[in-house]
Amino acid sequence: MNRRGLYRKLARTNIKKNTRTYLPYIAACIMTVAMFYNMYFLAGNSATSSGSLRSMLEMGKWLVGIFSFFFLFYTNSFLVKRRKKEFGLYNILGLEKRHIAKVMLWETLYTALAGVGLGLVFGILFSKLMILLLYRILRFDIAYGFSVSPDGLIVTAVFFLLLFLLILLNGLRQVHTASPIELLHGTEVGEKEPGTKWVLAVIGVLCLGGGYYIAIATENPLAALTWFFFAVLLVIIGTYCLFTAGSIAILKMLRKNKAYYYKTSHFVSVSGMIYRMKQNAAGLATICILCTMVLVMISSTVSLYSGMDDLLDTRFAHDVTVTADYRPGDGFDREQQLQKVKEAAGQSACTDINTQDYMKLYFPLVKTGDGFTADEEAFSGVSDMISFYALTQEDFERIGGEQLKLSNGVAVFDSTESVQDTFELFGEKFPVEEKLDSIPQGGALQDVVQAVCVVVPDEEMLQKLYELKIQAFGDDQGTGMNYIIGLDMNGSKEEKMACADLVRTAVSQDADQSYSSYVESKQQSEADFYETYGGLFFLGIFLGALFVMATVLIIYYKQISEGYDDAGKYEIMQKVGMSRQEVKASIRSQVLSVFFLPLLMAGVHIAFAFPIISRLLALMNLTNTSLFALCTVITLVIFAVFYAIVYALTARTYYRIVKA
């Protein structure tokens, strides 16, 4: 047999003899390749060509690619560690490192061919299922037929072949830089007892506390959008620091507790974990972060999709809303606009048409220490942004507001809680006669930004506020006065959409009008909402499945690595008198303590992240906190059950390795 044939045979033999570690790795390669192709296929499909959906799928494609890069590198490190002793033995028996490199080349080639080839086959087979699932979520008409993306096949194959090349080069680097003795003892690296790193533990506590504080203390949804990623970064750093340094400190504290430590199962598991915690900590922290990502993505996207009716009701107060933006004195006729809208709606097939109309003055302000200003230089962040609007008492009561008795003063709703007995704006002071607890049809606005709503006694004072606004902003900045007409009606979805079209045609007939009008329809916007939030839901489920797969594989490799490392030690324990039941109890104690800690920490992360995620969802019109809480709890319970099943299966593998 020539040397090339020898290398190929050695590579095949090595893969067969290491099926316990290689098969899960190849399966992970197949799944990541298939998922990357499917995301590429969906992003390039003609049915997903709309802007928001295409952008989300493109983002998903890049996320899958980036995650695959780090994930396959990470899981391959377990294979390399298990093989170091074998490579060291080859080296001692006479194979040079260049010969070992050729064996590794063939092993990588077989793995790449299996992973990329089968991954593309499964990707093509499941691409139709993925497109049908996406159509179902988005409520698109089902398109029959089968197609393959040639660009997707080429890009996927090239990307993953390059990735396997980089993985091979990384493995060759580790073998080349290590001596035969180091390779033989490669699996024993990290056996020296680590010291207690109190500085790192304190940094972890501070980072985790800082991230939790931001999540709880940030009340403004726009500010939450700014601070969320910083809080996530702090929590990730804190998690890794606490798992690395805090876990060692806790284990050493347990060792000092004689009542706990000097029990057979605790003695073995605690002492064993102290010696390898530095290596375990990074893997456990990674599992914790992945669990948290899965829980956040699935619970939030499920909440958005299942709460679609709430989203639409929050965003649209009426079936049809007509808004006219005009400047007083430019000839806008409120009664004529209302009559035009009523006549157009009356031509539709809808019945019981109810109309609400009111005028509203709106402009943005900046909150200062003792009031509000229009000075942009006072703006220091989104938390200072104030949404100010005013309307007359008559209009306020017409749209469902409480009955007021105003004379020369105003009634104020103030979410900033800074308005006292006098309201000052642009240098003018207005006495506050009543304070309002809520405002009608303002739920979406007041949940997203801080809002101040002023109810004035008559149109004369409203005109005065408009003139003050013009003096502050100028005639060319901001909007004028808004005249809003809301229509609610009985009828089918198609009839309501037809009514909106009739109204839209009626209000846009005058091409040279001095004001602008636009029409919004709840029913016509429903498809856009399902496209946006359905796309997020699909992406959340897709990426959630990818992260779950990664979590399972990391747990599996951690278990078998621990099993191989502990096999000799437990054999010694049995020789000195421990029974198999005692060994099994010790295994259970170690596995339970180690592998349920990430899930517990992920639950803590979710609990502290709940307030800031709720405020982010408010930016997307989901203000039903109870729905989000329910989805979070259900997701956590289902994931915990799945996690327990994975633990049970991997613990059994661990014990089989130790027993052998």
pLDDT, tens only, 534-561: 888 888 888 888 888 888 888 888 777 7
Among 267, 253, 182, CA closest to 570: 267
407 vs 384, higher pLDDT: 407
Could you report the per-residue pLDDT of 554-591, keeping only the tens digit for each?
A: 888 877 777 776 666 667 766 766 676 776 666 666 66
Could you report the per-residue pLDDT of 497-543, keeping only the tens digit for each?
A: 999 999 888 888 764 566 778 888 888 888 888 888 888 888 888 88
pLDDT for residue 3: 62
User: What is 232-272 written as a DSSP string?
Assistant: HHHHHHHHHHIIIIIHHHHHHHHHH-HHHHSSHHHHHHHHH
**Residue 288, phi then psi, degrees to nearest 5:** -60, -45
pLDDT for residue 199: 82
pLDDT for residue 188: 54
Please state the rounded mean pLDDT for residues 11-20. 81
Secondary structure (3-state) at 476: coil
Q: Tell me the C-alpha distance between 473 and 466, whole Å.
A: 10
**Residues contacting 273, CB < 8 A, separation 6+:** 251, 280, 590, 593, 594
| Four-CA torsion 545, 547, 550, 554, nearest 10 degrees | -130
Q: What is the mean pLDDT of the chain?
A: 80
Could you report the per-residue pLDDT of 120-175, keeping only the tens digit for each?
A: 999 998 888 888 888 787 777 666 667 888 898 999 999 999 999 998 888 888 77
Q: Is the pLDDT of residue 445 over 50?
A: no
pLDDT for residue 644: 87
Among 140, 153, 130, CA closest to 50: 140
Predicted model pTM = 0.78
**Residues contacting 209, CB < 8 A, separation 6+:** 238
pLDDT band at residue 605 using 50, 70 and 90 as cut-offs: very high
pLDDT for residue 511: 46
Please state the rounded mean pLDDT for residues 396-408. 81
User: Strands 320-326, 481-490: parallel, antiparallel or unpaired by DSSP?
Assistant: antiparallel
| Four-CA torsion 300, 301, 306, 312, nearest 10 degrees | 90
H or E element that contains 190: none
C-alpha distances in Å from residue 216, one per residue of 177, 227, 235, 568, 590: 48, 11, 13, 48, 34
User: Do 422 and 432 meet the contact criterion of CB atoms below 8 Å apart?
Assistant: yes
pLDDT for residue 113: 92
Could you report the per-residue pLDDT of 488-499, keeping only the tens digit for each?
A: 999 898 889 999
Could you report the per-residue pLDDT of 236-266, keeping only the tens digit for each?
A: 999 988 888 777 777 777 777 777 777 766 6
